[in-house]
Amino acid sequence: MRCSYCGYEDSKVLDSRPVEDGYSIRRRRECQRCGRRFTTYERVEEVNMLVVKRDGSREIFDKNKILAGLMRACDKRPVPLSTLEEMVSDIEKELRNSAEKEISAKQIGDMVMERLRQVDDVAYVRFASVYRKFEDIESFMKELRSMMGQK
Per residue in 68-81, pLDDT tens? 999 999 999 999 99
Question: What is the distance between the alpha carbons of residues 13 and 112, in angstroms, rounded to a whole number?
Answer: 44
**pLDDT tens-digit map of 37-48:** 999 998 877 778
Q: Rounded mean pLDDT of the chain? A: 88
Q: Where are the beta strands (DSSP E) in the chain?
A: 11-19, 24-31, 37-43, 50-52, 58-60, 102-104
Question: What is the distance between the alpha carbons of residues 150 and 113, in angstroms, rounded to a whole number?
Answer: 14
Confidence grade of residue 151 (pLDDT, cut at 50, 70, 90): low
- pLDDT at position 73, please? 93
Confidence grade of residue 36 (pLDDT, cut at 50, 70, 90): very high
- pLDDT at position 145, please? 78
- pLDDT at position 149, please? 74
Phi, psi torsion values for 74, nearest 5 degrees: -100, 10
**pLDDT tens-digit map of 103-142:** 999 999 999 999 998 999 889 888 887 777 777 777 777 7
Give the CB-side neighbour count of residue 113, counting CA atoms within 13 A: 16
Is residue 141 packed enough to be buried (19+ CB in 10 Å), middle (13-18) or exposed (0-12)? exposed
For the stretch 142-150, contacts whose Cβ atoms lie closer than 8 Å and that sit 24 or more positions apart, written own/partner, are 147/117, 147/121
